[in-house]
Structure 1
Amino acid sequence: MNSSRKLACQNAGSSNLTLLYLTIYTYNINKSILQKNKMDKLLPAQIKKSLFALALLPLFALANPSNSTWLPTKTFASKPDVSHVSVSPDGKHIASLVRIDTENKQGTAINLYNFATQERTFPVFVEDKKFVISDIFWANNDNLLVEAKFASSVRGTPITELHLMKYDLRSKKLKAAIPNSFMQRLSYIPNIRSNVIDILPDDPKHFLLQIAGHMHEGEPSVAKVALERGGNTHYVQPAEHDIFDWQTDRQGNVRIAIAKKDGVFTIYHVPIGKDSKSDFEKLWTFEAFSDKAIWPIGFGYEKNQLYVKALHQGYDAVFKVDLTSKHRALELVKAREGRDVTGHLRYSRKLKQVIGVGDYIWSDEARKFNDAINKALPDLDNHIVSMSEDENNYVVLATSDTEPGIYLMGDRNKKMMEVLAYRYNALTPEVLAEKKPISYQARDGLTIHGYLTKPKHAQEGQKLPIIIHPHGGPITFDGDGFDYWTQFFANRGYAVLQMNFRGSYGYGFDFLKQGIQAWGQAMQDDVEDATRWAIKQGIADPDKICIVGASYGGYAALMGAIKTPDLYKCAISFAGVTDVEALVKSSRNFTNYDIVKKQVGDDFDQLWQNSPLKHAQKINIPVLLIHGNKDRVVRFEQSEDMYDELKDANKEVKLVELEKGDHYLSNEQHRLTTFTEMESFLQRFL
């Protein structure tokens, strides 16, 4: 893609494409380019006064950067201009979330665009303070489902509540998606009320919702929820002891039950017509973080064709199994050499077959169309994020390390694509820095992979001030795509080194297993070894190194300051864990407590020994702590207690409390505050 982001995509659409089918798996349950003139479809030129009582300045003029690549902090700290783009099943409407930033209104709105009438409406607006819209998706042609989250508490336990609303395009009204008459029949109101497990494409008047509050303590039932007023909302699968997740086949039948007890998972087959656990067929049993794990990820068109993820030669691979067979042998479908297969199962209703998983396509017909899109959009990672029911209209999100994202609308019959919107309008490839893959040897010989981003105009061989940036999770990974934190640091003249330390996902079971109950140990050594590698390679100026991380990365940043006090000049922790013992104990009131103990550890004396809070007095470099006081993943007290300890020890420390802030910087002002504080801190100490 050239600097003006102009694309040539004329021939895309010559073969059949896929429907992206997302299998929903909830792990934690709480007990209680072608036509620039059409780019503005997703962003309003103005907001109707009847809705917001003011006009919105145009947000979608192309950026025109000056010769300098130094961009305002807000350019990076802003939430995406456009996200969650989705086409309706009939292809007549498109929905998205858009950023609102005017003199008096800041937040997120839902934007609906009618292709026939070219009408835009903005039916929902939130300030991203108490409420945050976390997802939108179509239930049918007339109803858009809206998931919203907010911080709450139950009997003193901080929790996140997830609600489900529906917006009716005909009545133009936003209502609760679950009828009040159904909610009144619950024995208690659960905090998670948005877990849609099947939109039932063949039954546009209903969807299937997994929800607790019916029977037992915390275990969910499956309800068939009516979308029309007066419809029959009723249970189709009652709750069962220990079962925390249900999955359906392509015909909308509940077919898989996943149970968990004392850190052991059991996968059950639910025969059609059976609704009692006594009638379920046990398929597999395995401990958490075991190499024997077999995880269902979805069904094929045939009712008894189940796809699963399991290990093949030490790496996650995709298999299929015939549930009618006696031995239920796993048949290998897709494996990668030296890497895990990642992503959700992809299914085509038109072809009536599973066509791939994640970015890996094995259907010949689907692959031809994928190849056509990739040919039309070269040098980009292209993901089909939405598709109409007939699979003619589709939305592509095209990204790269220097392209934050372009949404394009495709029409297969017309064999054309057109730009809908830029995810971050002001961030263009000419001002962003390239991310290069790197690898190094840890002290025990293990190969660690990662990425190095240098400032845009860095000279070859130049020693640079550098940010060591371990990721959160820790069972996740840093990839080669766009990262707004990394690009912000690079724009300010810092190199950024990201490493997928042991315990990161994607590098096989043995690699992941080394991160289990290993906080502050070899995982931390991998971060240190990355820093020393950067110095040895002549990349890092050894006198200008700061370690910066969020969540687990914030923990790693503080532990780096403790274990290697002379290696770093400063440390920044956003929502970082400082008391690992308290982190584990805070899960006691949640159904995932046994899993947390298996992952992080249950030797509380050892967890305290590996906690930055215990060793605060060892820190002799400046520390910046930033934390939202409504964080429900890592509680605000973690940073507050660390600040008190450092202050008592007369250390250089600053605590920035984000009022009503969550773990994910969902509020734009919180992002701006965070980035402004980090920028000032780095300028002062690095």
Structure 2
Amino acid sequence: MHNFLSGLLLASGFLAFSSVAAEDNKAGVLPLETFYQGERIEQLKLSPDGKRLVALKNIKEDTLIQLIDLISGESVYLGKTDNKKYRFAWVRWANNTHLLASFRYGDVRGLNTKTTETRLFSIEAKEGAELLPMVKAVRKGEHQSQFQDDVIKLRFPDDDHFLLGLDREMAGHDTIYQVNVKTGKASVVQRHKTNVASWVVDRQGQARASVDYNAKTTESSVRVLRPGQTEWVDAWRWPAFSEQAISLLGFGKDPKDLYISANHEGRLAVFKVDLSKADLPRQLILSHPVYDIEGSLIYSAARDEPVGIYFSDESSRSLFWDDEFKAFQAGLDKALPDTVNYITNLSSDDRSYLLYATNATTPGVYLLGNRDEKTLIHLAETFPGLNEENLVHKEKISYKARDGLNIEGYLSIPKGKTGPGALVVLPHGGPFSQDSNSFDTFSAYLANKGYIVFQPNFRGSSGYGHQFLTQAVGQYGMAMQDDITDGTKYLIEQKIADPKRICIMGASYGGYAALLGAARTPDLYQCAISFAGISDLREQRNSYRNYTNYNLAKKQMGEDNDQLEQNSPLNMVENIKAPVLLLHGTEDLSVRVKQSRMMAEELADENKVFSYIEIEDGTHHLDYLPHRKQTFEAIDAFLNKYLPL
């Protein structure tokens, strides 16, 4: 980041918190801690007046809420968690004097069903301030809401209040409350309805759209309230995984302008819908010929109008349709040509802003900008010590699957590597997600260690259109797995991968793919690593029985029990030849630890070479630092033994 726009000054950091600073690590294999310690700084937010910052700062296993005064440079801590009982889901400015913080934790509810829960607190932005709950204890007849942090609108109707969606009166059906950020006092502004799960308000704070979901039929619907009218009308309705699906993005300053994400020529695009007209006409705002456009709207704080969207194609970035912000972004990209540059936060007058710059070799840098002074000040690195000297760029590749479908993926080749090398195939979780050319911890660790890393976006990955995505519905372990296999064989044919030194590794769905790869193509891989992987598809589907999304899970995973059993690694253990490493947290609420326990038992019964490490109190996302340490150390030792370099 050394080519700067004429007239734009890039200054060095001046805040104490900005260099948690590690010594510069030169090229070479880095300590494991460099990767498993996680981000040092997260969720940096600028106050509306542009005078202060708040962030989540990670120091060893603790996460602290840090407040920074940009005028004096002083820094104080407002709260701390060790990430065992709970963690901070997010923190943001409620106004210039108070913060809102969401706490996420696990709990045990009825029917012995474990869930993730959230609670919402206010904190005055000053040293020694105490946490104030924003949702009072339930009274007789009220529902204990599982999620209590659905902040619908900040600073409404004034700076001291905000709007909160809460299913307190009727489970699964939100009421909108106006809450005082200083006292927690709440009043109802929009009562729940039986045909509404959640509400969307316009920029004036009026509930103007509602979303409902029928858990029995898995059908979703949207209703709208036209400006100047009192009767709500049906707008759209669609079954699960339908091409007709709609995502409500938000409103324009004019309450008739509703922005949505919807299908356009097989890809998701951004439309503006005119609610004042009976046929709800759509104006195409933004589309892409290859990739879906989906994400959250970017608003001009000063104009209270959407100007763009956070978008993910081969890399995540910001796309603007507003001319002023197009020019703004272009200037930043010219100043920082080697990174993807997000305007993450704007002051209320749009003149001060936070910028997040990143790429595969720049894990993430926060900068503070001023549009009037044309300055950018370096604030913090998310992973100090990780940079272009010890990280590698990801190369986008494409190949043909056996049925002719084009599949994209990303390849990380260690510095100085020539000729066929040891390969780690790293399929993503989800499966409705995607890998990109941006930084991620596991591929960076593997490439730094010396392995070639392959991250395929097999069919079912998000971002490539509806038809590509829905090929995962009811098809776990079928053509999706073939895409991973075909990509691996392609790299062998291209003499990139050494056919005798290949390991497959993944987490969640990726862990399932790793186990299935070892079982279905036993001669292709020399080892397999599964973190929180599924071994029995039918058992995983049935684990959702006590949840409202059970019928959706049946559609997603499939209702053909024979097919589920045929595609479950648990039933193919006798085929496995390669050593297997299983890792699983006992408090995983997404994929139950039972999945790995069953797999370990079968591997033992068949006298296979395997290791099983159960992470006591570990979660699906390894929220606690010692659990990440344990996981990385186990993977590192396993690779050293079974895929030595």
Q: How high is the TM-score relative to the length of structure 1?
A: 0.89
Aligned equivalent of 2:210, options 240, 257, 262: 257
Q: Determine the C-alpha separation between the residues in 1 that align with 2:376 and 2:278.
A: 48
Letter matched to residue 11 of structure 1: G
Helix, strand or coil at the partner of 1:356: strand
Query: Is 1:266 the equivalent of 2:218?
Result: no
CA shift at 1:117, angstroms?
2.7
Q: By how many angstroms is 1:78 displaced?
A: 1.0
State the 1:93 CA deviation: 1.0
- CA distance, structure 1, for counterparts of residue 283 and residue 228 of structure 2: 27
How many angstroms does 1:574 deviate by?
Answer: 0.8
**Cα 1:364–1:202 shift into 2, 3 Å:** farther
Q: In 1, Cα distance between the equivalents of 2:8 and 2:130?
A: 37
The reply on whether 1:305 has 2:282 as its aligned counterpart is: no
Deviation, structure 1 residue 9: 5.9
What's the CA shift for 1:577?
1.3
The alpha-carbon deviation at position 444 of structure 1 amounts to: 0.2
CA distance in 2 between counterparts of 1:116 and 1:186 reads 49
For 1:259, the aligned partner's letter is D
Q: Distance in 1 between matches of 2:149 and 2:328?
A: 33
C-alpha contact (below 8 Å) 2:506/2:513 kept by paired residues:
yes
Q: Distance in 2 between matches of 1:526 and 1:219?
A: 41
Q: In the alignment, which of 174, 178, 189 is matched to residue 130 of structure 2?
A: 174
Equivalences for 1:405-420 in 2 at 5 Å? Answer: 405-420=364-379
Aligned equivalents of 1:581 and 1:341: distance in 2? 33
Give the whole-Å Cα distance in 1 for the aligned partners of 2:28 and 2:15: 24
**Does residue 1:40 correspond to 2:40, yes or no?**
no
For 1:465-476, what aligned pairs fall within 5 Å after superposition?
465-476=422-433
Select the residue among 161, 169, 174 that pairs with 1:220. Answer: 174
The aligned residue for residue 335 of structure 2 is 376
For the structure 1 residues 631 and 9, does the alpha-carbon distance in structure 2 shift closer, same or farther, using more than 3 Å as the test?
farther
Give 1:185 shift: 6.3
Question: Is 206-215 or 349-358 further displaced after alignment?
Answer: 349-358
Aligned CA RMSD, in angstroms, stands at 1.9
- After the TM superposition, which of the residue ranges 149-158 and 394-403 deviates more from structure 2? 149-158
Aligned-partner SS, 1:303: coil
2:491 maps to 1:537: no
Tell me how far 1:88 sits from its aligned partner. Answer: 0.7
Deviates more, 1:483-492 or 1:619-628: 619-628
Structure number with greater CO (CA < 8 Å, separation at least 6) is 1
Shift of the 373–12 alpha-carbon distance from structure 1 to 2, 3 Å rule, reads: farther
CA shift, 1:10, in A, is 6.5
Residue 450 in structure 1 maps to residue 450 in structure 2? no
What code does the residue aligned with 1:169 have? A
- Work out whether residues 574 and 627 of structure 1, in 8 Å CA contact, stay in contact via their aligned partners in 2: yes
Shift of 1:651: 1.3
What is the letter of the counterpart of residue 40 of structure 1? A
**Within the alignment, does 1:76 sit opposite 2:32 as a pair?**
no
CA distance in 1, matches of 2:193, 2:461: 33
Structure 1 176/632 Cα, relative in aligned 2: closer, same or farther at 3 Å?
farther
Residues 139-538 of structure 1 mapped to structure 2, 5 A cutoff: 139-155=94-110, 156-170=112-126, 172-180=128-136, 183-184=138-139, 187-200=142-155, 203-215=158-170, 217-229=171-183, 232-261=185-214, 262-270=217-225, 279-358=231-310, 359-459=318-418, 462-538=419-495
The answer to whether the aligner puts 1:660 opposite 2:617 as a matched pair is yes
**Which of 625, 633, 656 in structure 1 is aligned with 2:582?**
625
- TM-superposed deviation, 1:271: 5.0
Report the Cα distance in structure 1 between the residues aligned to 2:92 and 2:141, rounded to whole angstroms: 26
**2:313 matched residue in structure 1:** none
Report how far residue 346 of structure 1 moved. Answer: 1.6
Contact 2:76 2:127 (8 Å CA) reproduced: no
Q: Deviations over 1:147-166 (max 9, x none)?
A: 11112121200111111122
Question: 2: CA distance between counterparts of 1:651 and 1:234?
Answer: 62
8 Å CA contact retained: 2:227, 2:276: no
Q: Distance in 2 between matches of 1:399 and 1:250?
A: 31
Task: Provide, for residues 10-65 of structure 1, a one-character-per-residue CA deviation record: whole Å limited to 9, x for no partner.
Answer: 7359xxxxxxxxxxxxxxxxxxx4124x153446xxxxxxxxxxxxxxx325x322
Which has the higher mean CA deviation after the structures are superposed, 262-271 or 464-473?
A: 262-271
SS for the counterpart of 1:530 is helix
Match of 2:134, as an amino acid?
Answer: I
Residues 434 and 565 of structure 1, relative CA distance in 2, 3 Å threshold:
same
Deviations 1:480-530 (A, max 9, x none): 101110010011110000110001111111111211111010001001001
Structure 2 CA distance for partners of 1:273 and 1:662, relative to 1, 3 Å: farther
Whether contact under 8 Å (1:549, 1:555) holds in the other structure is yes
Q: Say if 2:531 is the partner of 1:570.
A: no
Write the distance in 2 (CA, Å) between the matches of 1:452 and 1:179: 47
Q: Deviations 1:311-358 (Å, cap 9, x if unpaired)?
A: 111111111111110211211111111221132112213234321122
Letter in 2 for 1:424: F
In structure 2, the CA distance between the partners of 1:603 and 1:213, relative to structure 1 (3 Å rule), is farther
| Structure 1 stretch displaced more, 337-346 or 542-551 | 337-346
Shift of 1:372: 1.1
- 1:119 maps to what in 2? 74
Asked if structure 2 preserves the Cα contact closer than 8 Å seen for 1:95 and 1:113, the reply is yes
Q: Summarize the alignment of residues 591-602 of structure 1 with structure 2, pairs less than 5 Å apart.
A: 591-602=548-559
Shift of 1:292: 1.6
The letter of the residue matching 1:226 is: N
Residue 472 of structure 2: SS of its match in structure 1? coil
Q: How far did residue 179 of structure 1 move? A: 4.4
Contact 2:226 2:276 in 1 (8 A): no
* 2:393–2:437 CA contact under 8 A, matched in 1: no
The residue number in structure 2 matching 1:24 is none
- Can you list the C-alpha shifts for 1:221-271, whole angstroms capped at 9, x where unaligned? 222211122x64122222222532221111111111111111111111135
Q: Kindly provide the amino acid, as one letter, of the partner of residue 116 in structure 1.
A: I
Asked if 1:64 is matched to 2:20, the reply is no
Distance 1:574 1:287 in 2: 32
Aligned-residue offset at 1:603:
2.6
Gaps of 5+ in 1: 14-32, 44-58
CA–CA distance in structure 2, aligned partners of residues 173 and 272 of structure 1: 42
* Distance of 1:291 and 1:64 partners within structure 2: 49
Q: Tell me the number of residue pairs that the alignment of Structure 1 and Structure 2 aligns.
A: 633
Relative to structure 1, the CA distance from residue 486 to residue 186 in structure 2 (aligned partners, 3 Å threshold; closer, same or farther) is: farther
The amino acid across from 1:252 in the alignment is G
Which whole-Å CA distance do the structure 1 matches of 2:361 and 2:321 have between them? 29
Identical-residue share of aligned pairs (%): 37
Gaps of 5+ in 2: 311-317
Asked whether the 8 Å contact 1:42–1:96 carries over to 2, the reply is no
Segment of structure 1 superposing worse, 198-207 or 618-627: 198-207
Q: Is contact 2:261–2:294 with CA below 8 Å preserved after alignment? A: no
> Equivalents in 2 of 1:175, 1:469: separation in Å?
41
Q: Take 1:246 and 1:625, find their aligned partners in 2: how far apart are those partners?
A: 42
Tell me, in whole angstroms, the C-alpha distance in 2 between the residues paired with 1:171 and 1:34: 29
Question: Partners of 2:616 and 2:228 in 1: how far apart?
Answer: 50
* Distance (Å, rounded) in 1 between the aligned partners of 2:31 and 2:3: 27
Q: Which amino acid aligns with 1:240?
A: K
1:453-472 superposed Cα distances (whole Å, 9 cap, x missing partner):
0112212xx11100001101
